[in-house]
Amino acid sequence: MLPKWLPSVFVALALISPLQATAQERRLPQSQGELQLSYAPIVREVAPAVVNVYATTLTRQNISPFANDPFFNRFFGRNNPFQSRPRESQSLGSGVIVDSSGVILTNSHVVSGATDIRIALTDGREYNVDLVLDDEKTDLAVLKIRDPDRQFPALSFGDSDRLEVGDLVLAIGNPFGVGQTVTSGIVSALARTGVETSDYGFFIQTDAAINPGNSGGALVDMQGRLVGVNSAIFTRSGGSLGIGFAIPANMAKVVANAGLNGGEIIRPWFGVALQDINTDIADSLGLEAPHGALIAEVAKESPAEAAGLKSGDVIIAIDGLEVADSRAFNFRLATKQVGGTAEVTFIRQGQPQTVAVALKAYADGAPGQQVQISGNTRFAGVIAQQLTPNLAQEYGMSFEAEGIVITDVAPNSPADAMGLRKGDVILSLNGEEMKDLDRFGKLASSRQRGWQIVLQRGNQVIRSFVSG
């Protein structure tokens, strides 16, 4: 975690691509001749698999200071002449071909919300692509070349868990839109957290120069294997200061495989709420250092409960890989495939123990039932689900929480204008307790003179009255 006092701006960008090769022994250069060796053979092999990504999105531009004025909106309705107008904007990033059929991995923030996406190869040829998978949780997306006319050069994935601080890496992308560029550096740190707001922030840090436009490009090792997808830089000026961050290849591989196999990610459900360990907690538990993830709550009938894990246990490793904090645990678990087991090492009453935990999807991976509200109602634009332990964990609530959770609110919809937000939990409507999704759907879709709403937002319970 970077110091809080350090002034910073994290600029989204990225990198990705790998190639299979035999492992080589790490060693220092043995002669002046070795110091003069070139990276050119590696670059020639991997560069053709790195592409430029052009994404077009529609944004709204205010044409008057009266655009969002409630009086004018009420008077003119949807025909308000002062409202904002749509405008096309373009973003530029990079991507990596990970399958010869034309499957490309890039960053979610490069293509999210795009109405049109194109890629360009190093030889200048351009192709339209389809967005197969957009995973905001990891800031990764999978693209597929539309009507491919050939087999494409592709990179294979390396094992990012085998990286060590000091390993040489190359970053390949399209910084500032100047064209494909290669920079070199070392892995300067591993397992960096707190860099971005993604659910699985667990980054490789490198001093290879990375700049805006590198997002989705490739971070490769000296065998030409993809070891990371660059996602952000630390900067005060908007340019590279030698601190770049990449999403590890082991996470990128999970997203790429999901894109290749239908475009849906099903992650294991563990069923614990975790807390980071500070010095005081470490002292109270008799730990030598503030490392590990403390189990604060265990969901009933979860894989963790079945394995015998309890509140107060401190998880320190999964399958022999260290767990330094709760984010590290989430990352390690998310890289596992559903099916089989994971060996979880934990400390209970000062003694280390290991148990096998089944890697299962929540509710057997079935998509949760949801309701979408439309029509002439103040709740139009809402998508909601009944709160489950899995959703409760996603929104930072107790496993025992009940209610109807808002999972999406359409922009500029009546529900948006009413102030509803994603993650709000509707506890009651017009005095009726909301625990059943079908009942919520029927009531929210009806016309009422007014709405008495009780909802939970984070740790706050909000009561309000809204006219019908």
Catalytic residues: 109, 139, 215
- Burial (CB count within 10 angstroms: exposed 0-12, middle 13-18, buried 19+), residue 413: middle
Query: What is d(CA 195, CA 210) in angstroms, rounded to the nearest whole number?
Result: 15
DSSP string, 14-76: -----------------SHHHHT--SHHHHHHHGGGEEEEEEEEEEEE--STTTT-HHHHHHH
| 3-class DSSP assignment, residue 453 | strand
Closest to 213 (Cα-Cα) out of 172, 169, 171, 173: 173
Nearest CA to 298 among 338, 241, 355, 247? 355
Write the single-letter amino acid at 23.
Answer: A
Q: Based on the number of CB atoms within 10 Å of its own CB, is 84 exposed (0-12), middle (13-18) or buried (19 or more)?
A: middle
Which of 261, 257, 251, 264 has its CA nearest to residue 219? 251
CB atoms within 10 A of CB 296: 13
Cα–Cα distance measured from residue 259 to residue 133, given in angstroms and rounded to the nearest whole number: 6
In the DSSP assignment, the letter for residue 269 is B
Q: 253: closest CA among 17, 95, 12? A: 17
Contact (Cβ atoms closer than 8 angstroms) between residue 226 and residue 156: yes
Structure tokens at 62: 């205010």
Q: Residue 362 corresponds to which amino acid? A: Y
Q: What is the DSSP string of 373-413?
A: --SSSTTTTEEEEE--HHHHHHTT--TT--SEEEEEE-TTS
Instruction: Measure the CA–CA gap between 406 and 424, rounded to whole angstroms.
Output: 5
Helical (H) or strand (E) element with 253: helix 249-260
